[in-house]
Amino acid sequence: MANLLQTASEAGSFKTLLSAIDKAGIGAELENADGTFTLLAPTDEAFSKLPEDTLNALLADLPKLRRVLSYHVLDGDVRFEDLTEIFEAPTLEGSVIAVDHEGGIKVNDIAVTKADILADNGVIHAIDGVLMPAILAGS
């Protein structure tokens, strides 16, 4: 099995996310075999839903980009079954995401479209939107 980033790359639908992770310089943290993480991974299609100027502004502001990306990471191996039993989860960014169980699993009202993509150091759940920490959502 491969690490989170290798697994995401092999999946083929996370090119924008992987590019952003590389640009933000946080790839080494997610490849670290000493820890396990859960990556709530927006697909390329999810990133395409963002207004182009929003995505460009995010990519140009590395501190904000790092914060948004770390908001997509949970500490530990949180499988789909675990998500069905919790209502919130802390992110590496420091904020908490809400987990909704109605009509399928959603995190902050964004649907999990594919769950439990397993990696050596955690798990990936594909999501159909980009999560924004509340403090950055209006900026």
Instruction: Enumerate domains of the chain plus CATH numbers.
Output: 4-137 (2.30.180.10)
pLDDT band for 29, please (50, 70, 90 cuts): confident
Q: Tokens 């499988």 identify what position? A: 79
Asked whether the predicted pLDDT for residue 41 surpasses 80, the reply is yes
- Report pLDDT for 86: 97
Rounded mean pLDDT, 32-42: 87
Q: Identify the DSSP state of 93.
A: T
Contact present, 45 and 74 (Cβ < 8 Å): no
The contacts of residue 56 (CB under 8 Å, 6+ apart) are none
Spacing of C-alpha 117 from chain mean position: 13
| Type of residue at 29 | E
In angstroms, what CA-CA distances link 101 with 19, 29, 86, 98?
31, 30, 9, 10
pTM for the model stands at 0.94
The pair of structure tokens assigned to 121 is 């150091």
pLDDT band for 136, please (50, 70, 90 cuts): low
Q: How far is 8 from 21, CA to CA, in rounded Å?
A: 11
**How many degrees, rounded to 5, is the angle at CA 79 between CA 123 and CA 7?**
15
Which residue stretches of the chain are H helix? 4-11, 15-24, 27-31, 44-48, 52-60, 62-70, 80-83, 134-137
pLDDT band for 134, please (50, 70, 90 cuts): confident
What tens digit of pLDDT does each residue of 67-111 get? 999 999 999 999 999 999 999 999 999 999 999 999 899 999 999
- Report pLDDT for 34: 72
Cβ atoms < 10 Å from Cβ of 101: 12
